[in-house]
Amino acid sequence: MAVPEPPSAPGGNASLEQVRREIDELYRKAAVATDAYNLAEDQAQGQSGEIVKLARTIVAGERKINELKDRLGAQARAQYRTGGVPQSAQLMLSGSPDLFLRGAGRMQQGQSAVKNMLDELHRTQEDLRTYSKDASTQWTRLEANRKNKEKARKEIKKQIDAAEKIESRLAGKDRDRLLELERDAQQRAQSAWVGSGALGGGGGAATQQGKQAVDYAMAQLGDPYVWGAEGPYAFDCSGLTQQAWRAAGRGIPRTSQEQWRLLPRVPVSQMRPGDLIVYFSDASHIAMYLGNGSMVHAPRPGRNVTVAGAGSMPILGVVRPG
């Protein structure tokens, strides 16, 4: 993609602001691709686990079929040794009423046992065909997710490389000013959000689980953002929120989009510490609410886990894991 030239007049706010917006957009696209990568990775792990379970089931099914065939073979060999007449039938022909009655019962039992073994063999063979088909389907899905992961990985790299190339072409003082413009934009957004009254009275104090999740997230302050990372020393945005709630004993989905889609939603005015704030219309970023209008998050590549204003980015909504 074409990379814009750095501002002709270093320090010119209008030109630097344009560059800042372009860099933000590139990192936003990288965040969307990161969500796609994380989802494909999560699904691939689940499919790999399912394939392992199916493989074990297939092995057990094959063992059972072999055992049933051995038992049926033993029945056939016994019949052959008695000249094709089952031992129970021979007893029926002995002329003794007692032996006849006992033989009749044994013959019926033997026939029933053979029928049951044949039925069980048929069911096991059918189950084995189903399991094999399921395993084949899971392999197909696994391969598709591997391709999705690779596609997302390339997209992430492309967007991050483009953003870093723009920043690398700026003079040192312009990079410092760029960071100031970024902070100014966040502060303006935060002030407007707080002033709008959207925060309301809040949802009260954190639950015990919420407090544990917050404590975990705050303990990661200063750790670098790395796309696809979920700790213990680096995180992406949803990796941080997932691990924080895992530390609190609550498992939640891996990606920001899945966290938004699957977790219970609460009004912004009722959020409490530990709740997760979802940003942008595509749910491509997520943070943890701390209370008093602030949040903790892993912002983007080149930044570390930090505390910021909860309204410093466009809020899509709020979800509550616990």
Our answer to whether residue 27 is catalytic in this structure is no
With tokens 């966040």, the residue in question is: 186
Cis peptide bond upstream of 232, omega within 30: yes
Our answer to whether residue 285 is catalytic in this structure is yes
Q: How do beta strands 315-319 and 265-266 pair?
A: antiparallel
Active-site residue (options: 28, 153, 285, 300): 285
Contacts 24+ apart (CB under 8 A), 127-132: 127/61, 128/58, 128/61, 128/62, 128/65, 131/54, 131/57, 131/58, 131/61, 132/58
Count of residues making up the chain: 322
Q: Where are the beta strands (DSSP E) in 244-284?
A: 265-266, 276-279
Active-site residue (options: 297, 298, 311, 322): 297
Active-site residue (options: 237, 240, 248, 283): 237
d(C-alpha 298, C-alpha 292), whole Å: 19
Our answer to whether residue 122 is catalytic in this structure is no
The residues annotated with a catalytic role in the active site are 237, 285, 297
